[in-house]
Amino acid sequence: MGISVNSVDITDAAVEQELSHHQQADNPLKQAVQELVLRTVLLQEADRLNIAGGDDDTRIEALFAREVHVPDADEATCETVYRNQPQRFTNGELVEARHILLQVTPTVPLELLRETGEAVLAELRVNPDRFAELAREYSNCASGAVGGNLGQLTRGQTVKEFEELVFRLAEGELADRLLETRFGLHIVQVMRRIEGKLLPFEAVKSQIAERLARQAWQRAVHQYLQILVGRAHILGVTLEGAESPLVQ
């Protein structure tokens, strides 16, 4: 493939071997090449700093431990996260919801689905008692057979945009717009809410601090990789940033 890092070639055989670890990626070949380039850059830096011993992963971890440093999150920062994101630290919050899903398919134009969804939503604004009937008629979700009922939902059970909507609606409220997700267009109503209990700050302070520290470390490693890549002489590939499972 003609790829080299500081005059060290990355062979096709190495790329082929690395490919097996990235089959779930959107672009396995691109991910494999990027991973090999970043690993090579890091190991070359470990050589330069005389970091020896153990396997390659151990040497990279030792390099990060030596060169990447982040401060611990202070209590004020943790309190700010706690105040601004109370839903993350609330236990027992539930909603009982139902929906009508108009699924996007290659044979059905999105605009036709949207027109149908708007017509059904308009009917429900006038006759809300028809929700179950219309769900059975129009919904492409298996829940349509039970009137669109999704049962009780907790945070993390649905896609992000659906979760944000259902946990924002009041009990009995019908969403005033169609919700678009990767599954299609949804008409959503919350039937019942059970408000959760916000955990005390002291109970979650260490959890918040660990999360902030992990995020800060990932940012610092990303910046460190960008510096190393910027200094390296890389031929045959252009790295789009320095995103890598190495920093996960």
The predicted model gives 80-84 an average pLDDT of 96
Q: What is the largest CA-CA distance in the chain?
A: 75
* pLDDT tens digits, 217-233: 999 999 999 999 999 99
pLDDT (0 to 100) of residue 163: 94
Of 53-57, 63-67, 77-81, 115-119, least confident by mean pLDDT is: 53-57
The predicted model gives 121-125 an average pLDDT of 97
* pLDDT tens digits, 6-22: 999 999 899 899 988 88
pLDDT (0 to 100) of residue 147: 96
pLDDT (0 to 100) of residue 59: 95
**Residue 21 CB partners (closer than 8 Å, separation 6+):** 32, 35
CA pair distance 93, 104, nearest whole angstrom: 31
What ranges in 184-245 are assigned the alpha helix state H? 201-231
Q: Letter for the amino acid at 59?
A: R
| Residue whose token pair is 């006759």 | 127
Phi first, then psi, for residue 140 (nearest 5°) are: -95, 10
CA pair distance 114, 167, nearest whole angstrom: 23
E strand or H helix that includes residue 189? strand 184-194
pLDDT (0 to 100) of residue 1: 52
Residue 91 has pLDDT above 80, yes or no: yes
* pLDDT tens digits, 163-199: 999 999 999 999 999 999 999 999 999 999 998 899 9
Burial of 38 (0-12, 13-18, 19+ CB in 10 A): buried
* pLDDT tens digits, 41-63: 999 999 999 998 889 999 999 99
Residue 238 has pLDDT above 70, yes or no: yes
How much of the chain, in percent, has pLDDT values that exceed 70? 96
CA pair distance 230, 248, nearest whole angstrom: 21
pLDDT (0 to 100) of residue 246: 47
Domains in the chain, start-ordered, CATH in brackets? 3-73+203-241 (no CATH), 93-195 (3.10.50.40)
> 132-139: which pairs have CB atoms within 8 A and are 24 or more residues apart?
132/98, 134/100, 135/98, 135/99, 135/100, 138/100, 138/102, 139/99, 139/100, 139/101, 139/102
CA pair distance 137, 133, nearest whole angstrom: 6
Residue 242 has pLDDT above 80, yes or no: no
pLDDT (0 to 100) of residue 25: 84
